[in-house]
Amino acid sequence: MTSFREAVYSSLFGLVSSSDLFVTATRRIKEYADVDQATQPAILQLELGEKWAEPGTPPQAVTLRARLYIYCESNDPTQPVSTQINAALDAVADALAPDDVDERQTLNGLVYNTAITGEVTIAEGLSGQSEAIVPIEIMLG
């Protein structure tokens, strides 16, 4: 039987990796140097931990944290390196757009809300390799 947390993380991964843009999608973290250019754009999901509210605070609020890594590589010197990473970030943002009238992404009713939170970092390399790191918070109901 699948645990609740596994169902949540699996649902998140299915949602954010659903774009045809991604050639590789995995929940196993790899350095971008270990992801061949032919298999990029790539999206990788990593679980970071949980944040629990103070005991006695009703209801007990729990937030799961994840991080998405997006790798893109382009060797076309006539094109900006950021073109692919911007399209990949748009795909993730679109996938996480709220799915209900309350403006929350509930992962098909599993959680209270799922959203990009905090700073998205982007690193563009001189070699044509780029990476974005996207912080995700999942608030349980």
pLDDT in tens, 107-129: 999 999 999 999 999 998 878 89
Of 4, 21, 118, the closest CA to residue 66 belongs to: 118
The answer to whether the beta carbons of residues 67 and 49 sit under 8 Å apart is no
Share of the chain above pLDDT 70, in %: 94
Query: How many structural domains comprise the chain?
Result: 1
> Among 116, 57, 75, which Cα is nearest to 84's?
75
Confidence of residue 100 (pLDDT cuts 50, 70, 90): low
Torsion-angle region of 120 (φ positive above 0: left; ψ -120 to 50: alpha; else: beta):
beta
CATH number of the structural domain spanning residue 104? 3.30.70.1700
Q: Nearest to residue 91, comparing CAs of 19, 9, 6, 32?
A: 19
Span 18-43, average pLDDT: 91
Could you tell me the pLDDT band of residue 64, with boundaries at 50, 70 and 90? very high
Does the pLDDT of residue 56 top 80, yes or no? no
CA distances from 53 to 56, 64, 82, 133, 139 (A): 9, 12, 38, 26, 11
Taking Cα atoms as reference points, which of 102, 104, 106, 70 lies closest to residue 89? 70
Instruction: Give me the domain span that covers residue 18.
Output: 4-139
Quick check: 57 pLDDT over 70?
no
